Chain A
């Protein structure tokens, strides 16, 4: 019997029992939709939390430590697979001072490559990146460390920090105590950009960012100015801070491993993310398990329907067998029928689930917001339900498997139908 004829045969059976098949499909649909919607909440919460972590850019960052970091080494890191960029910041070790309109403060200074920084997600709140020598970028809280020390402080009064605009201002950068006439080590810097404030409230960014091309000049000027001071000779001019950025969170792990293999000390938040993933994997598995119970309940309906179908058609099965239908064909015809119920139920369930998920995401935040008196604010962005294709696949597999299994015994029963007894069977 050709597959097409088998399908026609099954369809003819289904048509004769429309109502019963419809009710069974309905049960299968409800079970499967319940599973999908339930598990989608797990996916939704995971997405919400992950998006939150991902949004502050740190997750693809891998911190690398090495005693003697060189540009050659960081260039080699760029060649590791899936590395988006490598940022090699050199933090100035000697004390430096900045002075702007009578306000002074010590300068925490980085030499860096702005191209690499930009590739890693370094963003400006205002202004632009440096284009000429002498142009610099400062952190969002740069002004807070410039203090007017000439003002006498009354008790309880706050320090007189610089209040004006920093962008466009030119300030003087000098090494502490080395600004004498014979070896000048002071530079005027113009602030052309202010870095975006860090995502976390507690992070303080008062740094001064200089282009690394300026480092050599500064270093030799500093060396000349401190010729006759030997006490700090052993101090390096800069300390290296290297961050490697992966192109995707999924690749952080492999890059971390590659760096470890090369002998670097490494830290990344991928491990924390992994823990979150493990937690949600367990949660989702639990939800899918609960949902599967709903499908199992629906499977009782399928079992019932198919058993009745086989019993009802005992005589027909007998005739088919008498005419020469083999046991395999009989079994297949009944399995196809239960598979059809499972398949149609699943397809409808998927459509319904997407509808429910969409509605939940549209309506629930409004309800929650209203319940909390509208205090959740703009930052309240929760995805309640997400249905990724993997979930659809898992749910379909479970639903179809359960449908096939529950149709299995009735189908076996059909193949065991005794021809002689069946032909005697009265309708």
Chain B
């Protein structure tokens, strides 16, 4: 369970000495219960990504707290947050962010390698997951030998491999056509049902937001709960 309380953040922009403060997130609160799919919709520049970066511990907010199962992420140092991410979070990015020098198999394996899981166990887990997500045929392919949809499947598999309780996804279908988008959304839904993984999905697309159990709308750095559509 993720709980955010009184979160504010502003960026300093402009030349040195003549900086101006741009408030991006304003006193917002958010909740994501275990096993929920939470969506955050909003227009470009409304601050969605910034919120996700704070939730994931990439960025320290000016004020406010981020509690993950009661642990305050904002109270940790960088190394602690990294270790926490490795243990608890998975990430899916709009532009996939696969390692260009690693094959599909090795990309999916990477979080396990970082965790120090022994090689035979890694191999078994990755093979299992690639089989169940329909990636077995492309295991030896490098990212530049894969289509966008395939790359995102690899990206999702990489987020999934450590069986994290939470996966954050920033525009996971943003670079994909609508048919492939539907594939990816179905995959997310099935993973959510099968493993009870909590998803926090950021999107500007109401159709994507529609798969969520809990919907937030971001507008100029302010967050309101309740979406346009009901949960299907």
Contact = CB atoms under 8 A, between A and B. Distances in A.
Interface of A: 1-2, 5, 9, 12-13, 16, 315-316, 318-329, 419-420, 423, 427
B62 to A, nearest CB: 15
A329 B99 CA distance: 17
A326 B101 contact: no
Given A320-B114, A322-B85, 9 more contacts: A322-B58, A322-B91, A323-B111, A323-B114, A324-B82, A324-B84, A325-B82, A420-B53, A427-B100
A325 B105 CA distance: 19
Contact of B79 (A13, A315, A328, A423): A328
B229 to A, nearest CB: 30
B142 to A, nearest CB: 11
Contacts of A2: 113, 116, 118
B58 A327 contact: no
B114 A325 contact: yes
Contact of A12 (B83, B101, B116): B101
Contacts of A13: 101
A335 B229 CA distance: 52
Given A2-B116, A5-B113, A420-B58, A323 B101 contact: no
A322 B114 contact: no
Contacts of B115: 1, 324
18 contacts: A1-B113, A2-B113, A2-B116, A16-B101, A316-B99, A318-B97, A322-B91, A322-B97, A323-B86, A323-B111, A324-B84, A324-B86, A324-B114, A325-B82, A326-B82, A326-B83, A327-B82, A419-B58
Contacts of B114: 1, 320, 323-325, 329
A13 to B, nearest CB: 7
B82 A420 contact: no
Contacts of A327: 78-79, 82
Interface in B115-139: 115-116, 118-119
Majority secondary structure, A binding face: helix
A332 to B, nearest CB: 12
B67 interface: no
Contact of A315 (B97, B102, B118): B97
Nearest to A318: B97
A329 B116 CA distance: 12
Interface in B72-98: 78-79, 82-87, 89, 91, 93, 97-98
B59 interface: yes
B160 interface: no
B6 to A, nearest CB: 22
A319 B85 CA distance: 12
B56 to A, nearest CB: 7
Nearest to B96: A319
A16 B99 CA distance: 12
Contacts of A320: 110, 114
B79 A326 contact: yes
A318 B56 CA distance: 13
A322 B56 contact: yes
B110 A323 contact: yes
A328 B78 CA distance: 10
> Which 3 residue pairs are nearest across A and B when measured between Cβ atoms?
A324-B86, A324-B85, A326-B82
A423 B96 CA distance: 10
Nearest to B170: A423
A423 B93 contact: yes
A9 B114 CA distance: 11
A262 B78 CA distance: 68
Given A325-B82, A326-B83, A420-B53, A319 B116 contact: no
Contact of B59 (A9, A12, A318, A420): A420
A322 B155 CA distance: 13
Nearest to B93: A423
Contacts of B53: 419-420
Contacts of B102: 12
